[in-house]
Structure 1
Amino acid sequence: MSAFVRPSRLSEGDTVAVLSPSWGGPSRFPHVFDLGLRNLESLFGLKVKEFPTARRDVDELYGDPKARAKDINAAFADPEVKAIFVSIGGDDSVRILPYLDLPTITANPKILMGYSDTTTLTTYLNQQGLVTFNGPTIMAGFAQMRHLPSDGVAHVRQMLIEPTEETEYRPYPVWANNYVDWNTPGYDGETAPQRPNEGPRWLQGTGVHAGPLFGGCIEVLEFLKATPFWPAPAFWDGKILFFETSEEKPTVDHVLRWLRNYGSAGVLERISGLLFGRARDYSDEEKEQLEAAILKVVTGEFGMQELPIVVNLDFGHTDLQWILPLGVKMEIDCGKKTLKLLEPTVV
């Protein structure tokens, strides 16, 4: 069992906090936000408690990082709240980290879930010893669940409500690259056309490797480098590191240079495995170029021929998403080509 503190599982009737630590998307697209809340209530039987930042105006929210941190602190302190789900991502939640009340947060471990810009929160609080969750947000993930295979609802239940001792990740049958324009009249959570899932790509590795999960959006992790919120060198030891790219579609060269930086910092030689989510908006040719760039850096430049590398996985900025619990031990079996959590995600 890893040393990270797991939060309590959710049960029907539990209250979840909803807030906006990054972009104030609910103020621009309230119908999408409301749709996500309705799905949270109807599909999982949860009660929603909106915190002050949840629907706050985009510009006001941007100008008030202290208020965003205050909501995070208050949600962890609130005995009624069993989990914290973010409305949507953004690009500046790194600004709220100095104002987090770490003693209160760590004394009250709870499910905290989001992705994209929420990487700042999930990775920083994971460094404080808490299991956190890289997964769907209210507006990007939950709002679309009724238009996606029911596997997504079952996965959320397995990860947050009905945990098992071990969990094998299996590819979803289909995936969607993005959503129908939220400005479309009558938008009801529709996605772009769903495509057959070609499954993961195993680029290299032999044997069985295991370690606690850690990672998030690769662009957002760049915001954290050289700040007090970046992991100490020893923190990387044994981790299974995961990256995903955002809807801004960083170039293959950008990803290559960022990955090279991890090698230069000594991270690649410390970790136990490397995972990449499906790259949103990349063509098949660009995905092949990305795979070649990853191998060029990891194997060609840093000589890590034995490091397992698996790409095109179901997490990140395409749907459906796997939920990845930071701090929970995963096993990569290169022979069987399986990814499996070796312990429960919640207690």
Structure 2
Amino acid sequence: MTTPLYPPKPRPGDRIAVISPSSGLPGLLPLPYELGLTRLEKDFGLVPVEYPATRTMGSTAQERADDIHAAFADDSVKAVIASIGGDDQITVLPLLDRELIRANPKPFFGFSDNTNLLAYLWNTGIVGYHGASVMCELGRPGAMEPLTEESLRAALFGSGPYELRPAERFRDMDRDWADPTTFESEPETRPGGGWFWHGPERVVEGRSWGGCLEILSWLLMADREIQADLSAYDGCVLFLETSEELPAAEEVFRILRNMGERGLLQRFPALLMGRPKTWSFEQPNGPEEADRYALEQRKAVLRALALYAPETVAVFDVDLGHTDPQLVIPYGGLVRVDGPARSVTVTY
């Protein structure tokens, strides 16, 4: 495994590819998508470039693979960002041309189902960026969340260390993207509560690996983009988060237990656990139910760590993944977890 390299960064005025490697939701729900495109242009100074499957619901895996290849192969495109996630990007991976992508490294931004492509880039030797999608973060109602915008701007255009900060307030409830009034006001937020630290007070610095826990479990089941020699993960910083499907605490434990049984979980001396999504349209939890869900998930993670990785430093409720604000995590980039100082610094 070659240590992933940071691809060159775009500058304001450059072209950025907007692709849908998973779901073509921009074609079904254009309001947050168009708002996100506008912010890419006006606030970030980038020129969005769309591809044939970007707004196509039900596009084939080959069509989405073709868009990925076109985006990476185009010399005039300096970065790539996903419109949103989905649930079947794993079917695209076997169709990708690794040599083409390796020869044309570019910053790729996405999360959720885009964990597939991020893990693929990790194995290709390219640092990706877990976070930011056009519809969710750039298309946020009211305005972009300031912490999200600051992190994304630093990851897009900057390099060097960036210290993550806990959000003072966060949003968990969603509103209807098909309703124009959704975008006329700021969403409701709740107090953040800071991070929860667990484990030995030591400093860990290493390359990051992880992503959406459910997607990682699929990659493990399909045996895709997982290194056969697990020593490739030794000393890395694991970061995980769960999706809006709200997996049960017992399911979270079982996935981590199976990672432990495979000999994988214990490879990571540090874990960043994202603030869990606790509300969905199918499961609209009130504040007490939401807090209970988050606590049960934390207990499940701690239970797995106690069994398989008791010396791992863990930080919970980091604002990464399916949460708002959302901090961008360099996937394969350097992360420093400082237990004594209670700080987390990433290198963009």
Do structure 1's residue 202 and structure 2's residue 197 form an aligned pair?
yes
Contact 1:9 1:160 in 2 (8 A): yes
Which residue matches 1:313? 318
The separation in 2 between residues aligned to 1:242 and 1:93, in whole angstroms, is 20
1:295 aligned residue: 302
Contact kept? 1:169, 1:340, Cα under 8 Å:
yes
**1:199: Cα distance to partner?**
1.4
Shift of 1:44: 0.4
Give the alignment partner of residue 175 of structure 1, picking from 159, 170, 179: 170
Deviation at 1:307, TM superposition (A): 0.8
2:291 maps to what in 1? 284
In the TM superposition, residue 228 of structure 1 has moved relative to its aligned partner by: 3.4
Structure 2 residue identity aligned to 1:156: L
Shift, 1:220, TM fit: 0.8
How far apart, CA to CA, are the structure 1 residues paired with 2:116 and 2:68?
A: 13
**Counterpart residue type for residue 266 of structure 1:** G
How far residue 145 of structure 1 moved from its aligned partner, in angstroms, is: 7.0
Change (3 A) 1:111 1:170: same
Percent of aligned positions that are identical = 36
Paired residue secondary structure (1:84): strand
Residue 242 of structure 1: aligned partner:
239
State the Cα distance separating 1:190 from its structure 2 match.
Answer: 5.0
Between stretches 318-327 and 230-239, larger displacement belongs to: 230-239
Deviation at 1:173, TM superposition (A): 2.7
Could you list the per-position Cα deviations for residues 272-309 of structure 1 after superposition, in whole angstroms to 9, with x for gaps in the alignment?
2111101111621222222222121111x22x332101
For residue 269 of structure 1, give the secondary structure of its aligned residue in structure 2.
helix
How far did 1:179 drift?
Answer: 2.7
SS of 1:54 mapped into structure 2? coil
Residue 146 of structure 1, CA deviation: 4.9
Q: Is the 8 A contact 1:147 1:189 kept in 2?
A: no
Contact kept in structure 2, 1:176 and 1:191, CA below 8 Å: no
Residues 327 and 145 of structure 1: CA distance in aligned 2, closer, same or farther (over 3 Å): farther
Name 1:41's counterpart in structure 2. 41
Q: Which amino acid aligns with 2:114?
A: T
Using the TM superposition, give the Cα deviation of residue 3 of structure 1 relative to its aligned residue in structure 2, in angstroms: 2.8
Return the alpha-carbon distance in structure 2 between the equivalents of residues 189 and 320 of structure 1: 18
CA contact (8 A) 1:43 1:153 kept: no
5 Å matches for 1:12-27? 12-27=12-27
Q: 1:150 is matched with which residue: 119, 131, 146?
A: 146
Paired letter, 2:166: P
Write the distance in 2 (CA, Å) between the matches of 1:146 and 1:47. 22
- Residue 48 of structure 1 aligns to which amino acid in structure 2? P
Gaps of 5+ in 2: 280-289
AA matched with 1:159: A
Equivalent residue pairs, number: 335
| Offset from partner CA, 1:36-67 (integer Å, 9 cap, x none) | 100111110100111111111x13x1xx1001
Q: Is the CA contact (8 Å cut-off) linking 1:144 and 1:190 kept in structure 2?
A: no
Give the alignment partner of residue 259 of structure 1, picking from 244, 256, 275: 256
The alignment's TM-score, normalised by the length of structure 1, stands at 0.92
- Structure 1 CA distance, aligned partners of 2:334 and 2:183? 37
Q: Specify the alignment match of 1:3 in structure 2.
A: 3
Q: Given the superposition, is the C-alpha separation of residues 85 and 148 from structure 1 closer, same or farther in structure 2, using an over 3 Å criterion?
A: closer
Contact 2:147 2:326 in 1 (8 A): no
AA partner of residue 51 (structure 1): Y
For residues 218-233 of structure 1, the aligned pairs below 5 Å read 218-225=213-220, 226-232=222-228, 233=230
Determine the C-alpha separation between the residues in 1 that align with 2:295 and 2:147: 28
- Stretches of structure 1 that go unaligned for 5 or more consecutive residues are none
CA distance in 1: counterparts of 2:168 and 2:156, whole angstroms: 21
